[in-house]
Amino acid sequence: MGVYNHEAFADHEQVVFCHDEKTGLKAIIAVHSTVLGPAAGGCRMWAYRDDDAALCDVLRLSKGMSYKNAMAGLNLGGGKAVIIGDAKTDKSEELFRCYGRFVDSLGGKYITAEDVGISVSDMEVVSQETPHVAGLNSGLAASGDPSPFTARGTFNGIRAAVKHRLGTESVRGLKVAVQGLGHVGWHLCKYLHEAGAVLFVADINDEVVQHAVKEFGATAVPCDEILFASVDVIAPCALGAVLNETSIPLLKTSIVAGAANNQLAKTSDGELLRTWDILYAPDYVINAGGIINVAAEIEGSYDRKWVDTKVAAIYDVLMDIFERADKEKGSTSDIADLIAQEKIDSAVKAVTKGKQDQIVA
């Protein structure tokens, strides 16, 4: 399948295929939009089943970043990168330095950061080859791993969904199933536990599951059963496409609100969730905490108060989406897409008008 007629292409501005025989690097950088600013989004390292799966993932993730940044009110466009490989066995300093050179070749059009399979230390290596990196432990305005901010924003989003659907201000006593205990999932469990939620957890790493059982009093659930647990909230925090025409009818929850990207296998699955009377918190809205923190770094003068205010506002943004979806009898995912595209289109019109005014002047 070609890039331009790929189902996930969605008018991307630029797609860069990166290959280096010496280091073994195989990567794709996708820049969806720079209308609102430089395209910002993390780099994911994953052993994809084939090249098309990697391309599909990076295109969907990149567009999601455009919408995420627009909904969060950031002066950033949307981009994403994937490195094809096993994060446990294929990493090397040379590979990440090579990736950094590819990022640098884009001249700041794309700003990279951590995502699944990538650590802060990996990005520190990338930063030796390019300044267009965020989520670092050192350097101007560095603030470290953005995962805790993603988790806190997701927690705020769960509170909004619980308020809208269940009419309660607190998650205390509610059953929440967390799928995936990576950096974000773990921190989310911490916030939920401290707020009194009853946790059910699953991860492919049994050691981290047992740690959650001990640390949070969580109940361990097999990975292939966690989505279908009978709970108040399902929080997908692993990989995407877990919500589809097969899984949705089997859900035993009234709310899906988690940090994973691209949770819907297809756009139409948002409407399917509405048909089954399940409230869905659009992923790129609820999980925006990390990119908000990254945006503060990119500005060059890290303002923690600004970050905290923006992350807290995820609650209000989701409440607005839920209420508009109810009023217009549409899916929350469609409403979020509509609002995000409106913001981007408005920016395009403003730029076009500015250029026309310059010509007239």
- Per-position b or e across 127-146, b if 16+ CB within 10 A of its CB: bebbebbbbbeeeeebbebb
Rounded (10°) angle between helices 289-298 and 304-312: 150
Which is nearest to 238 in space by CA: 80, 84, 44, 88? 44
Rounded (10°) angle between helices 289-298 and 147-166: 140
Place of tokens 């009194």: 196
Q: How many CB atoms lie within 10 A of CB 348?
A: 12
Half-sphere exposure of 307 (CA within 13 A, CB side): 22
Question: Which residue(s) pair with 82 in the sheet?
Answer: 28, 44
| Distance, C-alpha 332 to centroid of its chain | 17
Tell me phi and psi for residue 59, to 5 degrees: -65, -45
Q: Is residue 16 within a helix (H) or strand (E), and if so which, with residue range? A: strand 14-20
Q: Please list, in sequence order, all residues whose beta carbon lies within 8 angstroms of the beta carbon of residue 178, skipping any fewer than 6 positions away.
A: 185, 188, 189, 192, 199, 200, 201, 202, 218, 226, 235, 237, 258
SS3 annotation, 317-346: HHHHHHHHHHHHCCCHHHHHHHHHHHHHHH
Distance separating alpha carbons of residues 321 and 333, to the nearest angstrom: 9
Is 68 noted as a catalytic residue in this protein?
no
Contact indicator for 303, 267 with CB cutoff of 8 Å: no
The active-site residue out of 63, 80, 91, 109 is 80
Positions annotated as catalytic residues are 80
